[in-house]
Amino acid sequence: MSQSSKPESKNNSISPGCLIYGFGGLFILGGLVFLVGTSWFALRLEASRTWPQVPAQVVSSELGFRVDSDNDRFVDPVVTYRYIIDGETYTGDRVSFGSGDASWSQSRVNAYPVDRSINVRVNPNDPTDAVIEPGGRGWERFLPLGGLVPLGVGVSIILTGRRRLRNPELMRGPSGPTQVGPKGHWIPATLGIIFTTVGVFIVRDGLTAIQIARASSTWPTTEGTVVLSEAHREWDREEKRHTYFPVVVYTYEVEGVTYAADRIRPGSIRGSSRTSASALRLTKKYPEGSLTPVSYNPDQPSQATLVVGESVRSWRTMVFGGIFTVIGLVIALVFFPRPWAHQASNQGTGSPRS
């Protein structure tokens, strides 16, 4: 009985090749789905640039509030316009396919005041589908590139797995090889390169945030009005809990032009907490409808903050990006293939010619 059960257990076991190809295939499938979906979205945005232009007139223009699933409010430009096609009047309210922060929203409201005559792009297949600024904000074109990351990881898993299956020496032991050979390992090497690239961009943003924080101490001030003050709640999937962060949107005028901003302190990373008490404490300091001093950049009035000066918070992005960069560099250097070492080992072990 025991001898007959052994072949049956072997037949029911999953081979390492199936696991490798299956795991790598999941990454490739996910990357392809993301690539196709975002490419379709990007192509639609580009197609809107070719839609026929129709004259329209703005009938209302103001900052509006969008409510998400957590009943949190966000500021958006609400610009309503009318246009006529084949004698029939239509009403649209789409400014752009993309979205932005409070500063961008107010700039769109300023750009399209009431009674202004504008041109809108109308979908020839659906006259109710119109937009003022076709093509999005530009960054949407690069969305499909995000699908290349899981694609690369999936291909790396399959290639590395094939090499391990073909070389029995690499399959010894439950944890694989005891040391990294000259051929390296593409999976961690690829992840290291990704970590390093992301870290460099974060460090760059951190340096910019520190410079802005230092310069904000000398910015002029003006009186602003708080139009939104809430403690927003977000669900953290990794830690499976809610985090809270304050959202304060305010408007102000500089040389007769109205601006809006949502920056409380200079910096790139917004502060969050596990409880709503900390976020509510800050929002109570800036209640809706209250007047508050606003410091703005004289060279770029749309850039403003309520709290000026450099602080420990200003260095968060810099430190976070530095950690990302160091981790990525270490992983990439340890696991990246080293062909020169492979050639040296072949020359050292090769038999001399007679």
User: pLDDT tens digits for 185-231?
Assistant: 666 777 788 888 888 888 888 888 888 888 888 999 999 999 988 88
Name the nearest CA neighbour of 100 among 70, 128, 124, 136: 136
The strands making up 241-254's β-sheet, listed across from edge to edge, are 257-261, 241-254, 221-236, 291-297, 300-305
What is the structure's pLDDT at 329? 87
Side-chain-side CA neighbours of residue 302 (13 Å)? 9
Fold classified for 50-134: OB fold (Dihydrolipoamide Acetyltransferase, E2P) (2.40.50)
Indicate the Cα dihedral angle 26, 32, 37, 39, nearest 10°: 160
Residue range(s) of every CATH 2.40.50 domain in the chain: 50-134
Side-chain-side CA neighbours of residue 148 (13 Å)? 6
Q: Which residue has the higher pLDDT, 215 or 136?
A: 215
- Whether this prediction's pTM lies above 0.85 is answered by no
Q: Is residue 130 a contact partner of residue 79, using CB atoms and an 8 Å limit?
A: no
Report the share of the chain in percent with pLDDT over 70.
Answer: 77
Report the share of the chain in percent with pLDDT over 90.
Answer: 28
Is the pLDDT assigned to residue 75 strictly greater than 70?
yes
Is the pLDDT assigned to residue 127 strictly greater than 90?
yes
Is the pLDDT assigned to residue 238 strictly greater than 50?
yes
CA 145 to CA 34: how far, in whole Å?
9
CA 265 to CA 311: how far, in whole Å?
9
- Chain CA centroid to CA 46, Å: 21
Q: Which residues contact 262 (CB under 8 A, 6 or more apart)?
A: 75, 101, 102, 103, 228, 247, 248, 249, 250
Strands 117-123 and 88-92 turn out to be unpaired
Give me the chain's average pLDDT, please. 80
